[in-house]
């Protein structure tokens, strides 16, 4: 089942993209026994992510070119239960979910890691742009990638010592341009393949509105200002995100107005100015830690490629040194020490 090598066996999660293709090739080149595994997660339409049938085919062909075994694991039930279901539930409750993070948490580094261990693998590799560093005390942490434009440490913030002890991230020290050059040098068909975009189960052709309306009742809502005066409407209050400016039928022009609060039970969105979005604190919940919980000064990132801001973590509240834009409920708030991830939580 496992190819020959001298540096020990590694299961490589191959999505069909260039990063995981090069990860497998680099490990093979380094003498590892490599087996490629592709996850079949979504049985519906997919034209923008990493769940299309063509992606499975690309991964298989790369594995063939490298001369390693390739297998497909059907984790569709796990994906539907732990990613798609919560995505729908969050929208129904007025939260803004991040399904890619939940897929990493529950499927790629949850169910897949369990299966890898059951099959006798102590090491799992992916094509994520991040690094695993070992501190002087032996604690492992996710750290930022060499290529800041492609850094994915934010979406891996939930990984603890169990996974980090066996995780390999072979492309984390390479820029994206270097990854593509390596792929071309290895003769891999994915060398020029575009990066996956957006949520894999939301198609460009039909979009989020169509996806959700097939699963929940979408509620037309009214838009009010800070005084409670009705100033517009929305087709579906469940689709509005805190901080959103477009997509609301607002009367009149003038100063731009943004969604500052979403109340799904009342079918109401409150809007205000950019200043009305500013807050001094962000309450958080659902913590996950690389090792031990931290408290006090941290660096905080609140979106996949957002700015990093200094703050103080005080229990279940992030305190900002100066007012900053509100974080939409449901979004991940990730804590760093320098370039190293110490943990994360969800805004509420």
Q: Is the dihedral of CA 226, 231, 237, 243 positive or negative?
A: negative
Mean pLDDT of the region 131-154: 97
- Range with the lowest mean pLDDT among 4-13, 136-145, 189-198? 4-13
Is residue 1 within 8 Å of residue 69, measured between CB atoms? yes
Distance CA 115, CA 130 (A): 23
Task: Choose among 50, 23, 26: nearest CA to 38.
Answer: 50
Together in a domain, 174 and 227? no
Distance CA 11, CA 168 (A): 10
CATH number of the domain that residue 108 is part of = 3.40.50.620
Partners of 10 in the β-ladder: 34
| pLDDT higher than threshold 60 for residue 23 | yes
| pLDDT higher than threshold 50 for residue 76 | yes
State the pLDDT confidence band at 199, using cuts at 50, 70 and 90.
Answer: confident
Mean pLDDT of the region 225-254: 90
Decide: helix, strand or coil at residue 276: helix
What value does the mean pLDDT of the chain take?
93
Is residue 84 within 8 Å of residue 214, measured between CB atoms? no
Q: Is 51 a catalytic residue?
A: no
Together in a domain, 82 and 222? no
Is residue 219 within 8 Å of residue 264, measured between CB atoms? yes
Together in a domain, 46 and 181? yes
Catalytic residue among 51, 103, 275, 292: 103
Predicted pLDDT at 48? 54
Torsion of CA 327, 328, 331, 337, to 10 degrees: 0
Together in a domain, 222 and 331? no
Give the E-state strand segments of the chain in sequence order: 9-13, 33-40, 69-74, 124-125, 131-134, 140-143, 167-168, 221-224, 230-234, 249-250, 258-263, 268-272, 278-289, 296-301, 308-314, 317-325, 332-337, 340-347
Q: Is 103 a catalytic residue?
A: yes
107 within some domain: yes
| pLDDT higher than threshold 80 for residue 4 | no
Distance CA 128, CA 55 (A): 16
Distance CA 38, CA 54 (A): 12
- DSSP letters along 222-239, please? EEE-TTS-EEEEES-GGG
CATH number of the domain that residue 298 is part of = 2.40.30.10
State the pLDDT confidence band at 251, using cuts at 50, 70 and 90.
Answer: confident
Is residue 100 within 8 Å of residue 155, measured between CB atoms? yes
Distance CA 16, CA 58 (A): 5
Distances (CA, A) of 254 to 250, 257, 259, 273, 280: 11, 9, 16, 11, 27
Catalytic residue among 51, 100, 200, 292: 200
Distance CA 3, CA 9 (A): 8
CATH number of the domain that residue 262 is part of = 2.30.30
State the pLDDT confidence band at 54, using cuts at 50, 70 and 90.
Answer: confident
Together in a domain, 264 and 289? no
Distances (CA, A) of 149 to 96, 145, 308, 340: 24, 9, 14, 16
Distance CA 166, CA 114 (A): 12
Domain boundary pick from 239, 272, 305? 272
Predicted pLDDT at 2? 34
Predicted pLDDT at 3? 40
- Range with the lowest mean pLDDT among 71-85, 244-258, 299-313? 244-258
Percent of the chain with pLDDT over 90: 86
Together in a domain, 175 and 87? yes
Together in a domain, 296 and 255? no
**How many other C-beta atoms can be found within 10 angstroms of the C-beta atom of residue 256?**
11
Q: What is the DSSP secondary structure assignment for residue 137, as one 8-state letter?
A: T
Domain with 316 in it: 277-347
Q: Domain tally for the chain?
A: 3
Predicted pLDDT at 180? 98
Percent of the chain with pLDDT over 70: 95
137 within some domain: no
Predicted pLDDT at 5? 54
């Amino acid at each position: 089942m496992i190819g020959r090598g001298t540096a020990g066996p590694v299961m490589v999660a191959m999505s069909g993209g260039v990063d995981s293709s090069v990860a497998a090739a680099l490990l093979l080149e380094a003498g590892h026994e490599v087996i490629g595994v592709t996850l079949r997660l979504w049985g519906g339409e997919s034209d923008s992510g990493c769940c299309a049938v063509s992606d499975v085919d690309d991964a298989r062909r790369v594995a063939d070119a490298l001369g390693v075994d390739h297998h497909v694991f059907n984790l569709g039930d796990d994906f539907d239960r732990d990613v798609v279901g919560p995505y729908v539930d969050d929208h129904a409750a007025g939260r803004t979910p991040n399904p890619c993070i939940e897929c990493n948490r529950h499927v790629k580094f949850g169910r897949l890691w369990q299966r890898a261990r059951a099959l006798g693998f102590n090491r799992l590799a992916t094509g994520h742009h991040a690094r695993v560093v070992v501190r002087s005390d032996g604690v492992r942490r996710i750290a930022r990638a060499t290529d800041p434009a492609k850094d994915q440490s934010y979406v891996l913030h939930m990984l603890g010592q169990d996974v980090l002890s066996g995780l390999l991230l072979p492309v984390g020290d390479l820029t994206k341009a270097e990854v593509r050059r390596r792929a071309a040098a290895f003769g891999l068909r994915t060398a020029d393949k575009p990066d996956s975009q957006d949520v894999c189960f939301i198609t460009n052709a039909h979009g989020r509105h169509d996806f959700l309306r097939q699963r929940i009742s979408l509620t037309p809502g009214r838009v009010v200002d800070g005084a409670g005066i009705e100033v517009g409407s929305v087709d579906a209050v469940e689709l509005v995100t805190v901080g959103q400016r477009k997509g609301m039928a607002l009367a009149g022009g003038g100063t731009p107005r943004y969604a500052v609060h979403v109340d799904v039970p009342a079918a109401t969105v409150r809007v205000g100015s950019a200043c009305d979005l500013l807050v001094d604190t962000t309450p958080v919940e659902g913590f996950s830690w690389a090792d031990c919980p931290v408290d006090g000064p941290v660096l905080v990132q609140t979106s996949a490629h957002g700015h990093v801001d200094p703050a103080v973590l005080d229990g279940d509240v992030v305190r900002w040194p100066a007012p900053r834009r509100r974080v939409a409920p449901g979004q991940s708030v990730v804590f760093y020490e320098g370039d190293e991830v110490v943990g994360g939580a969800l805004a509420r």
